[in-house]
Amino acid sequence: MPELPEVETIKNTLLPHLKNLTITNIEVLYKNTIIGESDVFKKELTNEKIVDITRIGKFLIFHLTNEKIIISHLRMEGKFYILKKGEITKYAKVIFSLSDGNVLIYDDLRCFGLLKLSYKNCYKDDELLKNIANEPKDINVDLLFEKSKNSNECIKTFLLDQKNVAGLGNIYVDETLFKSNINPKTKAKYISYNELNRLIKNADEILNKAINLGGSTIKSYHPSKGVDGRFQNLLQIYDKKNQKCPNCQRNIRKIKVNGRGSSFCPNCQPYKNDSYNIAIYGEVGVGKSTILNLFKEYGCLTFNADEIVKTLYEDKKIINEVNKIFDSDDDYINKAKIKEKILSNPLYVNKLNRLIHPKVKQECLKIIKKSTKENKVFEIPLLYTAKMEDIFDIIILVKSNKQKEYLQKRNPDNYQFLLSINKNNIIKEDDADFIIENNGNINKLKQNVITIINKLKDRLN
């Protein structure tokens, strides 16, 4: 979606070519682009001269003679092209014929953008514009802080709200939060005055730099025909999942914050909250359950993915789906038969995982959504294999150099099969927020758990 720098670039690109030209005709190819009656829009604006183009937040404002105004919002993919008469773009929605013989085309692949007729004496009070806040360069941080300290919204959501700060969208919020060392999920109320002040200054600096470089050209978005922004070459964090953080070399993560893809560095941008959703993962036989029990001992709510699977296996529908995979006509989960099939053909593991992992993720999300102040700790052995890493705030990897010894003690007849399961386990050591080495010293494990809990508490201080 074009953000403030892209819209500013469009304004600066269009104005020299359109100023003092008269609109001689308007052809509306897609009526839903026009808010209000398209016939009135055409009648009122035909034969009017374009005298200026300005911008409010992400809105373009065309100023015409006789105090007439066009309010334009490009939304996802809206663009303006100046072409020769007779030329047309693939997704043209409105064509303005101009007095110099050219045409101004509003083009919109997604059909989300809009054009609206208004007038000089009232356009700033229009529903589209009246609640738009100041841009970062004009923000009163004192007033914004009063607003933020009472907000339960994530800071990213707070910044994307044009009623709080104008002009910021997904790209520039991610970049600003990274530069400010603030996690996108941290609630606005936990952002200190100094952090907010630094954040707004960084937002202004980033927006100015992006404007000077013509904005960002991301995937299908180009601000105008022949115009490509260059700021995307300077992006530090946006859309760089699994690439190395430019500051600390940790892997960049990408999560959803209120439905918006959000990239951040878990090391440079530690999440601050009064409670956390924590995942413990690692290979079979490294002591994950022991550590989970220690978290429980120290007041955390704990959940085990294996117990969730066990409950799922009691569901008749799931029993039938599992047995279908393994060509079984049993009316229960026959673990011996499943084990035999997996040993004969490892592809069965992938089929079973594709069925069960999404269901386990769904159950974990249900638990997470229940409001509670306590930390919730989940033992998820196949965290990355199951693609569940994005739903947790903190990831703890457990390792051990006594893995084989533990498995032989726990299950002497089955330990080789259990070791074979590790082949399907994706371990991303660079992604872990904490690593616990379990080599048999319970007191050391206890100290590790206490240290992690205290570090998470300290983030709010």
Contact 183, 273 (CB under 8 A): no
Strand-pairing partners, residue 78, are 108
114 token code pair: 């809009």
| Residue pointed to by tokens 């997704």 | 91
Longest dimension (CA), the chain: 89
Q: What ranges make up the beta strands (E) of 44-161? A: 50-56, 59-64, 68-73, 78-84, 92-98, 102-108, 114-119
Contacts (Cβ under 8 Å, ≥6 apart) of 431? 250, 251, 253, 266, 384, 389, 395
Reference 356, options 315, 326, 318; nearest CA is: 318
Give first-to-last CA distance, the chain, whole Å: 36
324 token code pair: 């279908």
Q: What is the DSSP string of 330-341?
A: -SS--HHHHHHH
- The H or E element containing residue 261 is strand 260-264
* Amino acid occupying residue 379: E
Phi, psi of 69 (to 5 degrees): -135, 140
Is 3 among the residues known to form the active site? yes
Contact 207, 171 (CB under 8 A): no
From the list 2, 5, 136, 223, the catalytic residue is 2
Is 2 among the residues known to form the active site? yes
| Dist. CA 223–CA 238, nearest whole Å | 19
From the list 75, 241, 254, 260, the catalytic residue is 260
Strand-pairing partners, residue 81, are 105
Q: Quick one: DSSP state of residue 303?
A: E
| Dist. CA 145–CA 189, nearest whole Å | 9
Contacts (Cβ under 8 Å, ≥6 apart) of 16? none
Q: Is 371 exposed, middle or buried (0-12, 13-18, 19+ CB in 10 A)?
A: exposed
From the list 58, 156, 187, 288, the catalytic residue is 58
Q: Any idea which residues carry the catalytic annotation? A: 2-3, 58, 260
